[in-house]
Chain A
Amino acid sequence: MTERIVVVGFGPVAARLIDELLPAVRSGIAHLTVIGEESEAAYNRVLVADLGVGRTTPAALALADAAALVADGVDVRLGVRVRRVDRARQRVLLSDGTSPGYERLVFATGSRPVIPNLTGLNPDPAAPVLPPGVTALRDLRDASVLHAAVAGGKRVVVLGGGVLGLETALAAAEEGATVTVVHNGPHPLGRNIDRGGGSVLAASLRNCGVRMAGNARSVGVEHNAPDGGFSALLLDDGSAIDGDLLVLSCGVRPRTELAEGCGLSTAAGILVDHKLRAHHEPHIFAIGDCAEVRCPDPECVQCRTARGPSGLVGPGWRQAEWLADYLTLLASGADAEAEALPPLPAELPGVIVLKARGMNMAVAGDVSADPWDEEALTAGAVNGRARLQIAQWADPEHGRYVKMTTRAGVLEGLVSVGMPRTSAELVQLFERGAELPADRSLLLRLDGPDQAAAAGSVDPSRTVCRCAGVSGTAIASAVTEGCGTVPEVSAATRAGTGCGGCHDDIKGIIEAHFQGAVA
């Protein structure tokens, strides 16, 4: 029989799940219904800021094609909300009046922006109606609001020093807008970065034309624009930051209300076990931003240290791939195999790589400890577990900063600002859990000018013509014996008879010889 799978939500994570389930749909073992609240099929939210500054197009953001899915037999409902889930009857009640049944229900409802508690804003998360001139940055409509402001050369105030806020600010500034980032604490990215990295980052952002307002506590918004829209962000010291558009970038909160409404356990997100199943409900799953992996077993070591939803898309995609395998096995009746499927390994701490044109920054893991912070470095170093070690490089004058936090040679945290190759190398080492070279300074030299140019050695015995394997010495002796032109040298030694790339070098040897003779 055909297993009915209903997916609630049609964002990037749901799209991946659907893609992976398509073979099961095509083969007829599963019937799939997807319910998306927006009128578009899944698109890439990671790039909404790029869209907002006009760097890409809505079409390029698409991650799914509703028509193609329908052609494959998927029941796609766009612009439809789930009113509630009837677990007893295994049905979802939809805003279009229908109530499809399910054997497996997957929540992929994602998250919504946090609306900060400011006078002049309605903080009710259920009714996030924002006044004119104030927007979050989550969906295509938000992007078009930002785009209008950037294209119109307006002043943009970004509230929040998280990575999305910084990316938005940088992109908008690069596209010509006047941008101010307002954030708590002494530097952006808060506890995700250490003081040194944060300070160099803030300076780099300023160099890119972004105004940074740190240690700022905002208390309200002012609506004195002609259309009654936003005109300034008010701070607790009585000052105000003027602007035409306020972009709220204060983090996201998992959307759990549907799950709560049908009695599922939630904490920050919908609580699921290592097989992504809702607690005590084998028919319901949750993946992506809305899910919090924390199993009901109080003894589980992995869950004791588990973090809440990361807000990053990578872990969600891995969950989607895993769950697709699991659901496909269940749908094909291979229950034993499904149960034998090894659960997803615990996620590493997330990696943040700043998407920006003019500057470079990557940060991952716990980077709070400093090299001399004995207490922090030895914490947890028991039972033969190695202590943490820190290697660090700071060059604020040139906007460069690197910190490598390692245990037994493997990165547990990293910061890299202003060093693109180092940052690329460190991030892949972190992702692979690979051991760093004992000489950490190797990783600091990747961006140096000495790496780009293979210095032409002046050693006369070096091979000048690689194709024919002829040394400078052999060429020089041919010249001494009377060869005065490149073709003559070639005829005598075969140097220069392959790719011809060494003709200039041969000429140089000939010239050096005759200059020497004159002198």
Chain B
Amino acid sequence: MTKSADTHCPYCALQCAMTLTSPAALTPAVQPGSDPVAEQTAPSVAPPLLTVAGRDFPTNRGGLCRKGWTSASLLNHTGRVTEPLLRGTDGVHRPISWDEALTRIVAAVKETRAGHGGDAVGVFGGGGLTNEKAYQLGKFARLALGTSRIDYNGRFCMSSAAAAGMRAFGLDRGLPFPLADLDTASTILMLGSNVAETMPPFVQHLQGARDAGGLIVVDPRRSATAAFTSDGGGLHLQPLPGTDLALLLGISHAVIHEGLADAGYIADRTTGYEAVARSVGSFWPERVQSITGVPAGLIRETARRLADGAGKGGSYILTGRGVEQHVDGTDTATAAINLALLLGMPGSARSGYGTLTGQGNGQGGREHGQKADQLPGYRKITDPAARAHMAKVWDVPETLIPGPGLPAVELLKSLGQPDGVRCLFVHGANVAVSAPDANAVIAGLRSLDFLVVCDFFLSETAAEADLILPVTQWAEEEGTLTNLEGRVLRRRRALTPPPGVRSELWIMTRLAELLDAPSTFSEDPETVFEELRLASSGGLADYSGIDYAMLDRGEAAYWPYPAGSDGTPRLFLDAFAHAGGRAVFTAVTPRRRTPSAGAAPVAAASAADRAGTPMTLITGRLMEHYQSGAQTRRVAALAEAQPEARLQLHPAAAAAQGIADGDYVSISNERGVVSCRAELSTDIRPETVFLPFHFPELESANRLTEAATDPISGMPEFKTSKVWIRPAVSGDAVSGGAAGNRSGVQVLQAEETS
């Protein structure tokens, strides 16, 4: 077995470089117990199999956050699933052999296909899967399962910014420049992104702007990132949730009217300026102040600092989920891009626009065929040339490749419905916690004929599964991921996986065989990557010039990287990706919101719960947890620091309801009820409350979010939900303290020792 491996963190898109070392004293690959019952009585603390050390790299410069430092504790976690588990008629999951597991899956798929057609089988992927898995999963769905119904959880995070980037630039790469370019910037405008909590080592790259007084953070909360703007670091703009689009139009208005726009750039490199100038004409700062609550003076100041920075060390505009996860998320990201274009930023050497990708492989995961509407290389599935290309690479008739499927929210809504999906595969996602309107999603999962979940823990989604397949963790596998800069990185194996565990590539390959699928499948990551190179060749996200050997030599590989080129660290320097080479301004204005039809009040919350003044719920992340918390809630150090969801609430709002710090509160709307403790803080606007979305069951924030989506991207509205808050009363179901210990899903925490 390997003694040490240079790899990257298993969590977010910053993909901090780390070295995993196997302490010589330890016996290799501790065998977790084979009996799940015995497992729970076993001591929950085992010494870690690997030590983690930060490694110098341009993105993290040796830094790691708590999540990364403690990541190895999950490798030999006693709660880990190490054998296929089949749910019996009594609802209890019991181990079965791999042969039996595969046989049952094949039978379920064949039965579903025969009875209801190929599209009754669905696949839900994840932005944490390696490029190889994501690529082969798309191929597996379309060729082996014969379904169009594949989409992934990246639809919840990146699709609006991706759609806006495609519309404006003809290409979507989260950051079209290396992260270290930010270091010398004079002004950085961050909208709806709290990197100080979500990817702490990123903060190093904001220091230059902070020193120049040019960090501008837009957030309804005084987040840890917003707090960096105090003491001369910059400005904090605190708009009402859901008004970011108007705010951006106001800043653009000030840019145009104060003569700050870069006329030469607009004339030479863009089209559509006039329509945008007209559309922002009616958003003068004082009017925008009335909509957003942000003083007109700050709106003008932001415009001036951006313009000033663009002329000096550089200006950057970065957007995050806070402004993108809305029903007008694509338009909001477009407004941010328009502002950047007005100032001549994208495609310049020292300025730019970017969106901060969230999940570990949120970038690569959206490029290679996991999306309902795409084929590998960021190709459109409806484009005849793209289909012909893929048919050739896969050596199948073009007609065998299905057309576009359904985006994630629609896919999940279709579960168990007539003409919907009846047999579902879930890979690297925990939709029971992470998807909007989680109660409805869980009901959908329960209505399936057959649910297969690949995971290494009994996540809340796995708990609903008919069959759970244990898969490898990051330190046990080889592959590549593409970080938030569009740089392709190597994940390397440091440890032999437990004997009962398989890689998803192996599972897909076996199943494809048993289903008599056309084309070829492989369990070897490098073989899959070699095919991915061919598949992506000539596409927007072209990886054809990248191979494992060059990555292993430490070369920085930024796509597009056509064979024979040197890759593209900085995009758009000469031309944008649209035909003609110009960036496209698209005029956007806030749509008039109509109450969503079909939101029939489920009797989840009684009318009494919804008395009084509604508040606006926003959701987000905590430093200690990652996504649905399926992993981080099982790390003792992290769970101790943040054991439960807490509702962040302004003291003035709390006082009106007689709520004190630490009191249990009930948060409800027509979709569901959440019960947790209140945390009073003046860091949040008085009409707004915040819940982290890492927690399940009674603390699951997504019980309250609505499955309404952006019409262009299909991204859900996570960030503004109307809720009613009241103190919990006896008789309310109340969570028991430590997360997870109140349901059928036993969460054990691994002690992390260093």
Residue of chain B at shortest CB distance from A322? B592
Q: Mark A491-515, 1 if CB is under 8 A from B, else 0.
A: 0001001111100000000000000
Q: In whole angstroms, how far apart are the Cα atoms of A314 and B613 in the complex?
A: 26
A137 is an interface residue with CB less than 8 A from chain B: no
| Chain B: interface size category | 35 or more
A379 is an interface residue with CB less than 8 A from chain B: no
The smallest beta-carbon distance between A352 and chain B, in angstroms, is 9
Which A residues are closer than 8 A to B by beta carbons?
12, 16, 43-44, 46-47, 50, 55-57, 59-65, 68, 313-314, 317, 321, 351, 353-355, 357, 360, 420-421, 423-425, 427-428, 431, 434-435, 437-439, 442, 452-454, 466-469, 494, 497-501
> Which of B61, B274, B281 is close to A44, meaning CB atoms less than 8 Å apart?
B281
Q: In whole angstroms, how far apart are the Cα atoms of A314 and B285 in the complex?
A: 14
The smallest beta-carbon distance between A151 and chain B, in angstroms, is 15
B686 is an interface residue with CB less than 8 A from chain A: yes
> Which of A56, A353, A469 is close to B286, meaning CB atoms less than 8 Å apart?
A353
Query: With A12-B282, A360-B297 as given contacts, are A466 and B224 in contact (CB-CB < 8 Å)?
Result: yes
The smallest beta-carbon distance between B460 and chain A, in angstroms, is 25
Among B222, B228, B240, B290, the most chain A Cβ lie within 10 Å of the Cβ of B290
B256 is an interface residue with CB less than 8 A from chain A: yes
B742 is an interface residue with CB less than 8 A from chain A: no
Q: In whole angstroms, how far apart are the Cα atoms of A425 and B65 in the complex?
A: 36
Q: In whole angstroms, how far apart are the Cα atoms of A501 and B61 in the complex?
A: 13
> Which of A64, A314, A435 is close to B278, meaning CB atoms less than 8 Å apart?
A64
Pairwise interchain contact B277-A497, C-beta atoms closer than 8 A? no
Q: Which of B23-31, B507-515, B648-656 contacts A (4 or more CB under 8 A)?
A: B648-656
The smallest beta-carbon distance between B65 and chain A, in angstroms, is 5
> Which of A353, A425, A469, A501 is close to B293, meaning CB atoms less than 8 Å apart?
A425
B231 is an interface residue with CB less than 8 A from chain A: yes
Pairwise interchain contact B652-A62, C-beta atoms closer than 8 A? no
Q: Mark B265-280, 1 if CB is under 8 A from A, else 0.
A: 0000000001101100
Query: With A428-B290, A498-B200 as given contacts, are A467 and B257 in contact (CB-CB < 8 Å)?
Result: no
- Give B223-245 interface residues, CB cut-off 8 Å to A: 224, 227-228, 230-231, 240
Q: Which of B201-209, B393-401, B571-579 contacts A (4 or more CB under 8 A)?
A: B201-209
Number of A-B contacts (CB under 8 A): 155
> Which of A428, A453, A494, A500 is close to B204, meaning CB atoms less than 8 Å apart?
A500
Pairwise interchain contact B295-A420, C-beta atoms closer than 8 A? yes
Pairwise interchain contact A434-B687, C-beta atoms closer than 8 A? yes
The smallest beta-carbon distance between B13 and chain A, in angstroms, is 16
Which B residues are closer than 8 A to A by beta carbons?
54, 61-66, 69, 196, 200-204, 207, 222, 224, 227-228, 230-231, 240, 256-259, 274-275, 277-278, 281-282, 284-287, 289-298, 300, 592, 613, 623-624, 637, 641, 650, 652-653, 655-656, 686-687, 754
Pairwise interchain contact B275-A499, C-beta atoms closer than 8 A? no
Pairwise interchain contact B641-A469, C-beta atoms closer than 8 A? yes
Q: In whole angstroms, how far apart are the Cα atoms of A502 and B54 in the complex?
A: 17
Pairwise interchain contact A353-B289, C-beta atoms closer than 8 A? yes
> Which of A354, A431, A497, A501 is close to B62, meaning CB atoms less than 8 Å apart?
A497
Residues from chain A with Cβ under 8 Å of B196 in the complex: 466, 499
The smallest beta-carbon distance between A493 and chain B, in angstroms, is 10
Q: In whole angstroms, how far apart are the Cα atoms of A50 and B253 in the complex?
A: 13
Q: In whole angstroms, how far apart are the Cα atoms of A93 and B701 in the complex?
A: 62
Residue of chain B at shortest CB distance from A492? B754
Pairwise interchain contact A317-B686, C-beta atoms closer than 8 A? no
Q: In whole angstroms, how far apart are the Cα atoms of A314 and B286 in the complex?
A: 12
Residues from chain B with Cβ under 8 Å of A56 in the complex: 256-259
Residues from chain A with Cβ under 8 Å of B65 in the complex: 467-468, 498
Residues from chain B with Cβ under 8 Å of A47 in the complex: 257, 281, 284
Pairwise interchain contact B294-A424, C-beta atoms closer than 8 A? yes
Residues from chain A with Cβ under 8 Å of B203 in the complex: 498-501
> Which of A60, A428, A454 is close to B230, meaning CB atoms less than 8 Å apart?
A454
Residues from chain B with Cβ under 8 Å of A357 in the complex: 297, 300
Pairwise interchain contact B656-A438, C-beta atoms closer than 8 A? yes
Q: List 10 A-B contacts (CB under 8 A).
A: A47-B257, A56-B259, A420-B297, A428-B240, A435-B613, A437-B653, A442-B686, A498-B65, A500-B201, A501-B203
Pairwise interchain contact A497-B54, C-beta atoms closer than 8 A? yes
The smallest beta-carbon distance between A441 and chain B, in angstroms, is 10
Pairwise interchain contact A469-B66, C-beta atoms closer than 8 A? yes
Pairwise interchain contact A421-B295, C-beta atoms closer than 8 A? yes
Residues from chain B with Cβ under 8 Å of A498 in the complex: 63-66, 200-201, 203
> Which of A46, A428, A454 is close to B284, meaning CB atoms less than 8 Å apart?
A46
Query: With A454-B230, A466-B623 as given contacts, are A44 and B282 in contact (CB-CB < 8 Å)?
Result: yes
Known: A360-B296, A469-B641. 11 other contacts (CB 8 A): A47-B281, A60-B256, A60-B257, A424-B289, A424-B295, A434-B613, A437-B650, A438-B652, A454-B227, A467-B200, A500-B203
Residues from chain A with Cβ under 8 Å of B61 in the complex: 500
Pairwise interchain contact A497-B230, C-beta atoms closer than 8 A? no
Residues from chain B with Cβ under 8 Å of A317 in the complex: 282
Residues from chain A with Cβ under 8 Å of B281 in the complex: 43-44, 47, 60-63
Q: In whole angstroms, how far apart are the Cα atoms of A439 and B651 in the complex?
A: 10
Q: In whole angstroms, how far apart are the Cα atoms of A510 and B297 in the complex?
A: 42
Residue of chain A at shortest CB distance from B62? A497
Among B65, B240, B592, B623, the most chain A Cβ lie within 10 Å of the Cβ of B65
Residues from chain A with Cβ under 8 Å of B202 in the complex: 499
Residues from chain B with Cβ under 8 Å of A442 in the complex: 652, 686
Q: In whole angstroms, how far apart are the Cα atoms of A425 and B688 in the complex?
A: 13
Q: In whole angstroms, how far apart are the Cα atoms of A468 and B203 in the complex?
A: 14
Residues from chain A with Cβ under 8 Å of B687 in the complex: 434
Residue of chain A at shortest CB distance from B615? A434
Among A16, A428, A442, the most chain B Cβ lie within 10 Å of the Cβ of A428
Q: In whole angstroms, how far apart are the Cα atoms of A468 and B54 in the complex?
A: 12
The smallest beta-carbon distance between B274 and chain A, in angstroms, is 6
Pairwise interchain contact A499-B284, C-beta atoms closer than 8 A? no
Residue of chain B at shortest CB distance from A421? B295
Residues from chain A with Cβ under 8 Å of B592 in the complex: 321
Nearest 7 CB-CB pairings of A with B = A499-B203, A437-B652, A467-B200, A498-B200, A420-B295, A428-B293, A56-B257
Residues from chain B with Cβ under 8 Å of A423 in the complex: 289, 295
Residues from chain A with Cβ under 8 Å of B289 in the complex: 353, 423-424, 427-428
Pairwise interchain contact B277-A467, C-beta atoms closer than 8 A? no
Q: In whole angstroms, how far apart are the Cα atoms of A320 and B686 in the complex?
A: 33
Residues from chain B with Cβ under 8 Å of A64 in the complex: 278
Residue of chain A at shortest CB distance from B231? A453
Q: In whole angstroms, how far apart are the Cα atoms of A35 and B303 in the complex?
A: 36
Query: With A59-B277, A499-B200 as given contacts, are A353 and B290 in contact (CB-CB < 8 Å)?
Result: yes
Residues from chain A with Cβ under 8 Å of B282 in the complex: 12, 16, 44, 63, 313, 317
> Which of A61, A68, A424, A427 is close to B275, meaning CB atoms less than 8 Å apart?
A68
Q: In whole angstroms, how far apart are the Cα atoms of A63 and B278 in the complex?
A: 5
Query: With A12-B282, A63-B278, A497-B62 as given contacts, are A466 and B200 in contact (CB-CB < 8 Å)?
Result: yes
Residues from chain B with Cβ under 8 Å of A427 in the complex: 289-290, 293
Residue of chain B at shortest CB distance from A318? B592
Residues from chain B with Cβ under 8 Å of A60 in the complex: 256-257, 277, 281
Residues from chain B with Cβ under 8 Å of A12 in the complex: 282
Residues from chain A with Cβ under 8 Å of B257 in the complex: 47, 50, 55-57, 60
Residues from chain A with Cβ under 8 Å of B294 in the complex: 424
Residues from chain A with Cβ under 8 Å of B222 in the complex: 454
Pairwise interchain contact A65-B278, C-beta atoms closer than 8 A? yes
Q: In whole angstroms, how far apart are the Cα atoms of A16 and B284 in the complex?
A: 16
Q: In whole angstroms, how far apart are the Cα atoms of A355 and B299 in the complex?
A: 12
